[in-house]
């Protein structure tokens, strides 16, 4: 199946300055993905991180590695093969603890895998050594295949003596043929064993060469690790400066985290204000629509009012004309009444005179 990711997290990646061996150099401008990979073919665990297309971490986990927490959110480990020290800055202590737990888990798995590999090599080498030992203790020689002169002598003696009296020695001759067949079968068996032992010896020789190469590689690795330990001891003498730099970095990281927290709070506040503005806009749109409806209704009412005013004015005009007519009629009536009064008075005077 090849190499597959088994755990991932995000962190800021640093490397120790190769010149000063005491200052941290950031290898990523922002937090990147850091993953554990497992190669089932080679039974190997690796830590890999990419910044774009550039690999900023490619570290194979070995049993002698140690992941150290130097602060609440920062951890580091030394990679002797890459000849560097990696540092990771996490966003929280929980992420740091989780990464450290996985590092310890995969480190233990790498140790068990190495022990199993060594046990398998020992089991493979033991039968080959036994076969080679047996071959050396019992070498195949012409005497072991065909027998020694003392073992072959009785057959020759028995075959030479009966020639004077063949009828009396027929039984020994048949016995000699059986022995010859027995030795031929024994010879075939020994040849087969010899071929097997030769193949085992060749395999053992090849394994010995391979072990010598591995031993030389281990010795070189040990010397390199010894030099690395010496370098780390020299670096440890400058621990105070490194600790001061770590403290400054931690303070800077804390300040950046606080700033980030403030920015996040401001973003949340702006989001709330945007939501409130949207609600106000919706209310404004609703009120605008209602206002338009009210204006339309007002126009209708104004039209109705104007019609009523015209009707009222017409009615008032009619009433005024009616009043004028009535006033005229009253004046005429008053004149008629005055005339009737004068007529009555005249009639009364006539009556008095007569």
Does residue 14 belong to any structural domain of this protein? yes
Boundaries of domain holding 15: 5-118
Distance CA 143, CA 148 (A): 5
> Does any domain span residue 348?
no
pLDDT band at 148 (very low <50, low <70, confident <90, very high): very low
Task: Extract the tokens encoding 243.
Answer: 């600790």
CATH number at residue 110: 2.30.29.30
Are the beta carbons of 90 and 46 closer than 8 angstroms? no
Residue 62 domain-assigned? yes
Residue-wise pLDDT for 126-145, tens only, equals 554 444 444 434 343 434 33
> Is 80 exceeded by the pLDDT of residue 154?
no
Mean pLDDT for the chain overall: 79
With respect to residue 46, please indicate whether it lies within any of the assigned structural domains: yes
Q: How confident is the model at residue 53 (pLDDT cuts 50, 70, 90)?
A: confident
pLDDT computed for residue 230 by the predictor: 60
pLDDT in tens, 7-24: 999 999 999 998 888 899
Angle, in degrees to the nearest 10, between helices 170-236 and 93-137: 150
Residue 243 confidence (pLDDT) above 60: yes
- Say which DSSP state 120 is in: H
Report the pLDDT value the prediction gives residue 104, as an integer from 0 to 100.
94
| Residues in Cβ contact with 29 at an 8 Å cutoff, skipping those fewer than 6 apart | 51
Percent share of the chain, pLDDT over 90? 36
Confidence category of residue 235, pLDDT binned at 50, 70, 90 = low
Q: Is 98 part of any domain?
A: yes
Over residues 79-96, mean pLDDT: 93
Number of domains in the chain: 1
Asked whether residue 94 carries a pLDDT value surpassing 50, the answer given is yes
């Amino acid at each position: 199946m090849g190499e597959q990711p088994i755990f991932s997290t995000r962190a800021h990646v640093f490397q120790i300055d190769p010149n000063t061996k005491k200052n941290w150099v950031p290898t990523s401008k922002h937090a990147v993905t850091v993953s554990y990979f497992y190669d089932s073919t080679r039974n190997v665990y690796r830590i890999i991180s990419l910044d774009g297309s550039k690999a900023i971490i490619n570290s194979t986990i070995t049993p002698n590695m140690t992941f150290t927490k130097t602060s609440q959110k920062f951890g580091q480990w030394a990679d002797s093969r890459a000849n560097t020290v990696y540092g990771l800055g996490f966003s929280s202590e929980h992420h740091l603890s989780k990464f450290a737990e996985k590092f310890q888990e995969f480190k233990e798995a790498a140790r068990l895998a190495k022990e199993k590999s060594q046990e398998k090599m020992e089991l493979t080498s033991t039968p080959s050594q036994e076969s080679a030992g047996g071959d050396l203790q019992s070498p195949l020689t012409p005497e072991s295949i065909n027998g020694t002169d003392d073992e072959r002598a009785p057959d020759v003696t028995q075959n030479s003596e009966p020639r004077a009296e063949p009828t009396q020695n027929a039984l020994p001759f048949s016995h000699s043929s059986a022995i010859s067949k027995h030795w031929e079968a024994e010879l075939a068996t020994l040849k087969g064993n010899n071929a097997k032992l030769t193949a085992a010896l060749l395999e053992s020789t090849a394994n010995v060469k391979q072990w010598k190469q591995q031993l030389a590689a281990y010795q070189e690795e040990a010397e390199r690790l010894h030099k690395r330990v010496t370098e780390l001891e020299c670096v440890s003498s400058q621990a105070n400066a490194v600790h001061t730099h770590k403290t400054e970095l931690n303070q800077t990281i804390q300040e950046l985290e606080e700033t980030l927290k403030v920015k996040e709070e401001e973003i949340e506040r702006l989001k709330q204000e945007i939501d409130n503005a949207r609600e106000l806009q919706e209310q404004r749109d609703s009120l605008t629509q209602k206002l338009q409806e009210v204006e339309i209704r007002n126009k209708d009412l104004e039209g109705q009012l104007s019609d009523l005013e015209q009707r009222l004015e017409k009615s008032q005009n009619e009433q005024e004309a009616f009043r004028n007519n009535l006033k005229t009629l009253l004046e005429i009536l008053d004149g008629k009444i005055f005339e009737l009064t004068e007529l009555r008075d005249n009639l009364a005077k006539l009556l008095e005179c007569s």
